[in-house]
Structure 1
Amino acid sequence: MNTNLQRAIVLSLLVLLMAATRSHVFTHFTPVPDASWAAFFIGGFYLRAWARWAFPALMALAVVIDYIVISGQGINFFSHYCVSPGYWMLVPAHAAMWAGGHWLRSRHAGASFGALARLATVLVLATATCHLFAQGGFYWLSAAVAEPTFAGWAANYGHWFAPYLAATAMFVAAAALAQVVSELVARNAGPARQHDKH
């Protein structure tokens, strides 16, 4: 399969995933968790060659989805409590997830226990950094928190970190499983092609 075709398929799946899950963020109705953080991590892994425009495109998609959902509730986008100056900290937040996937891909040499350990470590670090920007931006720059304190910020960070990590890990695990399966199929197809030549 053409590499650009593979990238196009991955990008299309990430767009569908974000459209299907991010739309629940502002309605507080979440049959499935928001997959946005995982989408940027997976994008960083598979779309490194397209990073110059794929990252901004996914970032724009996130804002468009937020705009549609908020406007659909009859609320002015810029007056929503989530759309404070801290909202724009989602750019470095999502960039942290993308960078994590990008770094992981640069060191990926195939499925192994070492690769799994790297995935787990990088995912936790990237999610922690992403959460630092996203939650910190809202906590410190939003008018929703009347009297921000370091203790309050730390408690809020800790309270939300595990759920966000669990949701992100769930989607990344599914992508990792698909990657392992594709590598096994490619590995087994190699000897079969060699056999057919004889």
Structure 2
Amino acid sequence: MATTSTQRLGIFAALALGLAVTRVHLSLFHHDIWDASWGVFFLAGFWLRGTGRWAFPLLMAEAVLVDYVVITLSGTNFWEHYCVSAGYWFLVPAYGSLWIGGSWLAKHQHGIKLTTLGMAAAALLVSENACYVISNGSFYWLSAHVAAPKSFAAWFENLGHWYLPFLQTTAAYVALGAVLHVLAVQLARVSQHSGQTQH
């Protein structure tokens, strides 16, 4: 949704900072701050639609780098950490689904209207569910840390354990982003109107 290069870079920097701070804090300080990663990728898809060739890979690389630094500083080998398995690399399509959801919303919304709110809720719910199934499923089925034998029944039970917390956290960050978006749009309108009346 950003229209100038300066706006895009500013938004990217803010989102990258939010991702880094909450992802590091989550790993180091035991969930005192909710991880904003999912919300960041959805909002980035919305605000930075059309920049996926550089913005998405950079945010993805940042997420992996933060994980690597935090895990390494804790004295654990990155490749031996509980969360790092063949399934870890499925975070790319998982986070990609959030980016696509935000990008779809940016393309189809028509300004600040009630219909946009409904579209936002639907886009967020669909992309969150896709992200959750991909990330949780890849970990369950591909990680050696999940005890065998594995079954669909056990996987569905595991899905249920974390489903609501992940969705609620992401929705909270996206709601915060929505409030900031509305405020920015309103301020831009006031500024534009003020500039027109002065002429």
Scaled by the length of structure 1, the TM-score of the pair is: 0.94
Aligned to 2:163: 161
Contact 1:21–1:34 under 8 Å retained in 2: yes
Unaligned runs of 5+ in 1: none
**Structure 2 CA distance, aligned partners of 1:113 and 1:24?**
35
Structure 2: distance between partners of 1:179 and 1:33: 21
Query: In 2, Cα distance between the equivalents of 1:24 and 1:141?
Result: 27
Matched-pair contact (CA < 8 Å) for 1:44–1:98: yes
SS at match of 2:54: helix
Is 2:26–2:32's contact at 8 Å kept on the other side of the alignment? no
Out of 187, 194, 197, the residue aligned to residue 195 of structure 1 is: 197
SS, match of residue 51 in structure 2? helix
Cα drift, residue 121 of structure 1: 1.0
Alignment of 1:1-198 (within 5 A): 3-27=4-28, 29-146=30-147, 147-197=149-199
**How many angstroms does 1:193 deviate by?**
2.3
Distance 1:28-1:141 versus aligned 2 partners, 3 A rule = farther
Letter in 2 for 1:84: S
Cα distance change, pair 94–2 in 1 and its aligned pair in 2 (3 A): closer
5+ residue gaps, structure 2, are none
In structure 2, what residue type is equivalent to 1:193?
A: G
Match of 2:53, SS? helix
TM superposition shift of 1:15:
1.0
Aligned residue pair count: 197
CA distance in 1, matches of 2:198, 2:82: 63
Instruction: Name the % identity.
Output: 43
TM-score of the aligned structures, taking structure 2 as reference length:
0.94
What is the identity, as a one-letter code, of the residue corresponding to 2:169?
A: A
Local SS of the residue matching 1:49 = coil
CA contact (8 A) 2:44 2:99 kept: yes
Say if 1:110 and 1:183, in contact at 8 Å, map to a contact too: no
